[in-house]
Structure formats: C-alpha cells, structure tokens
Structure 1
Amino acid sequence: GHIALATVRFPEGTIGMQLDSFARRPLWEAGLDYDHGTGHGVGSYLSVHEGPQNISKKPIQQPLKPGMICSNEPGYYKEGEYGIRIENLIVVTEPKSIPGGERPMMEFETITLAPIDLNLVEVKLLTDEERVWLNQYHKRVRETLSPQVDAETREWLQHATRAV
C-alpha cells in the first residue's frame, strides 16, 4: 500500500479520501484493514498532525494542492502479536501533462530519504512496478546520503539500499 500511494497520479481537486483506498487495497484483498489514517498533514514546531490535508477514510473536503506535505503511513497491527508501518513524508507536486492525456495530473514526491528495511520486505509479493519503485527509491537514498557519511556508514548504506 505504501508504494501504491507513493506512485499514484491524480487530478486537481482530489481529496485524500479518494486516494486512501490505493493504500488499503492490498490489505483489503487479504480481508484485513487498519483503523488509523493513511496520512496527515505535517507542520512545524512539533505540530506533527497538521491539516487541513488528510488521507484517510474521513471525507475531509480539502483538496490536495501542490506543496502540501503529508505522511504516507499505511500499516497493519495484529493485536498482541505484531505490527508494521512504513512511514515516509510525501509532497504534492505541480500538475504535469501526461503524454496522450487530456488533463495534467499531480503526484507525490517522496521526501524522506531513509532506507526501507529489506529484512522486512517479502520481495516475492512485490509486483515488477513495486520492485522498480523500491530500487529507484533506494538508489536515490544511496546517492543522496553517501557523500555525507563516513566510510563505515557508507558501506552499511550500500547494503541497506541494495537492489531487490
């Protein structure tokens, strides 16, 4: 679900509730769901949950607009056993024309640059497109962070962002 939301394209005027099901779909297909929101606006000065934007089941009528920052954090918790949630921050991009399309579309750019722990990823469950996204994301993380860290950390980063 995390990758589905990170890669979705949507027209101007779209509200978060319209995108929420992209993130929930893999769990729904397995008869599962989560009760928290998929994403929320992010502010400053420790106002972590800042609106008006929101990606959830709630019909909040605020359209997503370029420059809005949201969290992307679908997850699943089995009470008393385990939980998983990958959380990144995403920013709404300016609308762009799509070759052959009739209207410009916005999308999200992931702005969090931290490896996704591959020990927790069931690679065989990823589609080819999801695998490409994960590898491209990790390449961006590696290329951005490597020049800023020492040799030991760079070696760890190479392994943590290896292709799947």
Structure 2
Amino acid sequence: LQEGMVITDEPGFYVEGSHGIRLENELLTRKGEKNEYGQFMYFETISLIPFDLDAINPDMLNAEDKKLLNDYHARVYETIAPLLKEDEKEFLKKYTRAI
C-alpha cells in the first residue's frame, strides 16, 4: 500500500440461497509511525454515511464496538451537519445518535 491509495472495507454476512448484508466504507491510506521496523500505514475512513441504527442490535455489541460506532457517527454529524439545512440536520442527528 502507498500513501494516498483509496480502498474499500466491505465486511459482509451471507446466508446461502437466502440473503445477505454488507457494510462498506472507503478508506484513505495514510502514513503512520515510522520506527526500526519500517514505515507503518493506517486507514482514515473517508465515507461519512451513518449506519442504519434500526438494523443494529446494541445488545450484541461490546463496549468497544459501541464506542467505535458512536465515535464514527459523531464524526459524521460534526462534518456533514454544517453543510445542511435545519430540517436535514435534524434527520442526520436522529440517524447518528449514540447507542
């Protein structure tokens, strides 16, 4: 991987012959720490779209999963809300609420 490359992260679950679900985020490759082992890279999520909270069972998430989701949704709201009209902000606020 090289700095600046964009890739997708697409975890999914499929029931053969029935249905499936896939989540997708676009990630930007960034330079991270450099040490005696070489140059490390990390990924920055650049697609800022809320996940459907109605499709998530919070009881199946551990504390770390909830924090990751809540932090992501906070970033989505903070980045996108200033670009929206008031009614659109309310819609986004509902779909980026903490769980």
- Give the shorter-chain TM-score range: 0.7 to 0.9
Counterpart of 2:53 (choices 111, 118, 135) is 118
Counterpart of 1:78 (choices 15, 23, 28) is 15
Alpha-carbon distance between aligned partners in 2 of 1:124 and 1:65, rounded to the nearest angstrom: 38
Length, aligned pairs only:
98
Q: What do residues 6-36 of structure 1 show as CA deviations (whole Å, max 9, x unaligned)? A: xxxxxxxxxxxxxxxxxxxxxxxxxxxxxxx
Counterpart of 1:89 (choices 18, 26, 44) is 26
1:68 corresponds to = 5
Alpha-carbon distance between aligned partners in 2 of 1:116 and 1:122, rounded to the nearest angstrom: 12
| Correspondence 1:132 to 2:67 | yes
Alpha-carbon distance between aligned partners in 2 of 1:110 and 1:119, rounded to the nearest angstrom: 22
User: Cα distance, 1:82 vs. partner?
Assistant: 2.1
More strand by share: 2
Structure 1 gaps of 5+ residues are 1-63
Q: What do residues 24-62 of structure 1 show as CA deviations (whole Å, max 9, x unaligned)? A: xxxxxxxxxxxxxxxxxxxxxxxxxxxxxxxxxxxxxxx
- Mapping 1:3-152, distance limit 5 Å: 64-96=1-33, 103=37, 105-152=40-87
User: Cα distance, 1:84 vs. partner?
Assistant: 0.6
One-letter amino acid matched to 1:86? L
1:61 corresponds to = none
TM-score, L = length of structure 1:
0.54
User: Cα distance, 1:79 vs. partner?
Assistant: 3.1
4+ aligned runs moved over 3 Å, structure 1: 101-105
Structure 2 gaps of 5+ residues are none
